[in-house]
Amino acid sequence: MRNWFRTVRNQRKKKHNIPSQPKDITLEITDERIETELAHSKQVLQEIFRDCSDVVFREIMVNETTKGLLVFIDGIVNTDQIHENLMRPLLIHFSETFNESQPADLKERQISLAQVTSAKQYAQLVEGILTGSVALLVNGYDKALLFNVVGGTRRGVEEPATEATIRGPREGFTESLRTNTALLRYRLKSPRLKTIAYKIGEHTQTNVALAYIDGLADPRVIAEVRNRLERIKIDGILESSYIEELIEDDPFSIFPQVQNTERPDTVAAHLLEGRFAIFIDNTPFVLVGPVTAWLMLQASEDYYQDIYAGSFIRLLRLFFLGIALFMPALYVAVTTFHQDMIPTTLLLSIAAARESIPFPAIVEALIMEISFEALREAGVRLPKTVGQAVSILGALVIGQAAVQAGIVSAPMVIIVSVTGIASFTVPRYSFGIAIRLLRFPLMLLGATFGLYGIVIGTMCIVLHLAKLRSFGVPYLSGIAPFSWKAQKDLLIRSPWWRMITRPPLLYDRERKRMSTDLKPSPVKQEGETE
């Protein structure tokens, strides 16, 4: 028996030891230089783009004798620009002035396009074509010119769907990285706003940009992010969550350690506080870090409303966060273990409502909570027209019919509804999901151990949160470790003229963010005493 185990173990080890077949997922283009012979180059390119129906090869005569070749991918380039600024000058004017000895001249004089680069190798050339440039090869030259004419149809700048505000800018990020960085640049017109470009994904070649404000962001954090970004080797990045999962501090934590947002103003505000942002092409969601748990309870609108409303809403969110997490668990625990804790008249009402219910409280709670989650999922995933029908059906079936049929008690419906509303008050969706999920283990703990179980569960959550870090910043920082300075903008929002320093624990090279005398007050007359 023992031998058998050993052999199995050895076999497993062997399996692991076998080096996996080097699966080269890079495009197999050598560093071969471009030939002077156009026909040959064309052949090479056609071989590379074999069966790519969207690649266009357009042969032109640059003058009487010299052949040229334009290569681009249809759809991702701006065809108007090609016609106006490339084809027309090439076909009409170029042939007259073409200087055979000076092909680079073309860059400077003939073509009225802003971004032109030259490529010497096929690899560069192919990359340029794939990212939306038009390649021009001319017979007799060992260089190709790449004209950046990225275009094609993309969604315009719209109001963000996930983070609507009543007051505040209505612009949201789009799927285009350039548009997104531009939206940020509109807001931060400073050369100290750095955007470091990366290309991640062997096949997707996704453009990723790491943005931060030089001097505000902690250089150690930036170095760490750069490290984490550079070590990503993956076939494709389709959404920011790929990156998020690959750079998180604690990959198994249920809590998000990177925030995502669709709002340029939010990103700008975070950068000003010394955080960094990661823009990813093809997704409107921009990652922001390092984050704390309190940041998850803040919305950009807190700063746009007046301080009382902003502070009240923040406290409200915190309160409802507690309700979203604990309410069903507490209800189950109190009604099955600690009936003595309920006021007598309330207990009588609950008892009257529960009288004909066939299930124990926990089963009832699970039925309701799970069907509520299903209802929400159905509402999100279905087309809008059908989604309405689902919510009506859900409201009728879950809300009314279940109670009238005596399957679920009315107090439980109230608890679940309040919990549902409460879970929507968390402004960060990813954090809200964590809360929604944690509700279930807490409910089970409450149902088996009563308040004792809830306390144990809460302790586990708090311990985990206290241990969690986001890019080295403690997740609960502000409260644990405690900082008086952070209280100005944590659970309440102080007026702007009070938030003189940036939040601590990020970087403090430039602590002050404004002058200290900004509190509005009447102008003092000459000679007037205080």
Partner 1 sequence: MRRLACTILAASLLLAGCWDRKEINDIALVMGTSVDKEGNQYKVTVQIAMPSQLGGAGSQGGGGGTSGTKAWHSLTATAETIRKANEIEQQALSRILYFSHRRTLLIGEDLAREGILDIMDVFSRIPQNRLTANVAITQGKSVDIMESEAPIERFPSEAIREQLNQYMKRNRVLKDLITSILQEGIDPAIPFFKTTSKEPGSAEAKGKENIRVGGLAVFKKEKLVGFLEGDDAQGALWAMDEARIPTVSITAPGSKKKIAVQFHQTESKLKPVIQQDGTILMQIRIKAIGSVVDNESRFTPVNMGTLETLVGKKIEGNVKNSLSILQKKYKADIIGFGRNIYMDDPTYWRQISANWDEMYPKVKTEVQTDIQIEHSGALIAPFQREEGNR
Per CB under 8 A, 450 contacts partner 1: yes
- Regarding 449 and contact with partner 1 (CB under 8 A), the answer is yes
- Nearest CB to partner 1, comparing residues 123 and 444: 444
Query: Least distance (Å) from partner 1 to the CB of residue 361?
Result: 6
329 contributes a contact to partner 1 by CB under 8 A: no
Stretch that binds partner 1, among 43-51, 52-60, 334-342, 507-515 (CB under 8 A): 334-342
| Size of the residue set binding partner 1 (CB under 8 A) | 32
Q: How far apart are CA 173 and CA 384, in angstroms?
A: 22
CB atoms within 10 A of CB 172: 22
d(C-alpha 90, C-alpha 496), whole Å = 57
Q: Which of residues 298-327 bind partner 1 (CB under 8 A)?
A: none
The residue range among 198-206, 222-230, 349-357, 465-473 that interacts with partner 1, by the rule CB under 8 A, is 349-357
Compose the 166-205 pattern: x for residues touching partner 1 by CB under 8 A, - for all others. Answer: ----------------------------------------
Q: How far apart are CA 461 and CA 117, in angstroms?
A: 54
Q: Which stretch binds partner 1 (CB under 8 A): 244-252, 414-422, 425-433, 441-449?
A: 441-449
Stretch in the footprint of partner 1 (CB under 8 A) among 44-52, 107-115, 447-455, 464-472: 447-455
* Among 351, 382, 414, 491, interactor with partner 1 by CB under 8 A: 351
Reduce the DSSP state of residue 224 to 3 states and report it. helix
Per the CB < 8 A criterion, the answer to whether 430 and 291 are in contact is no
Does 357 contact partner 1 by CB under 8 A? yes
C-alpha span between 445 and 480 (Å, rounded): 26
Asked if 399 is part of the footprint of partner 1 (rule: CB under 8 A), the reply reads: no
- From candidates 182, 405, 421, 514, binder to partner 1 by CB under 8 A: 405
**Does the footprint of partner 1 cover residue 344 (CB under 8 A)?**
yes
Task: Confirm or reject binding of residue 416 to partner 1 (CB under 8 A).
Answer: no
Beta bridge partners of 196: 210
Q: Per rule CB under 8 A, is residue 353 in the interface with partner 1? A: yes
CB of 445 to partner 1, least distance (A): 9
* DSSP-derived secondary structure for 400-462: IIHHHTTSS-HHHHHHHHHHHHHHHT-S-HHHHHHHHHHHHHHHHHHHHHTHHHHHHHHHHHH
Decide whether 61 or 403 has the Cβ nearer to partner 1: 403
For residue 263, CA distances in Å to 168, 241, 299, 305 come to 10, 17, 10, 17
Q: Is 328 in the site for partner 1 (CB under 8 A)?
A: no
Residue 452 interacts with partner 1 (CB under 8 A)?
A: yes
Q: Are residues 235 and 25 in contact, defined by beta-carbon separation less than 8 angstroms?
A: yes
Task: Retrieve residue 394's tokens.
Answer: 């859900």
Contacts of 468 (CB under 8 A, 6+ apart): 249, 250, 253, 255, 257, 474, 475, 476
Query: What is the H or E stretch that residue 61 is in?
Result: strand 55-61
State whether residue 17 is helix, strand or coil: helix
Among 360, 394, 399, 504, binds partner 1 (CB under 8 A): 360
Our finding on whether 453 is near partner 1 (CB under 8 A) is yes
From 60, 150, 403, 479, residue interacting with partner 1 (rule: CB under 8 A): 403
Question: Residue 344: what residue type?
Answer: T
Q: Strands 206-213 and 469-470, how do they pair?
A: unpaired
458 is an interface residue for partner 1 by CB under 8 A: no
- Give residues with Cβ within 8 angstroms of 429, minimum separation 6: 162
Stretch in the footprint of partner 1 (CB under 8 A) among 110-118, 211-219, 236-244, 398-406: 398-406
Residues that bind partner 1 (CB under 8 A): 335-337, 339-340, 344, 347-357, 360-361, 403-406, 409-410, 447-450, 452-453, 456
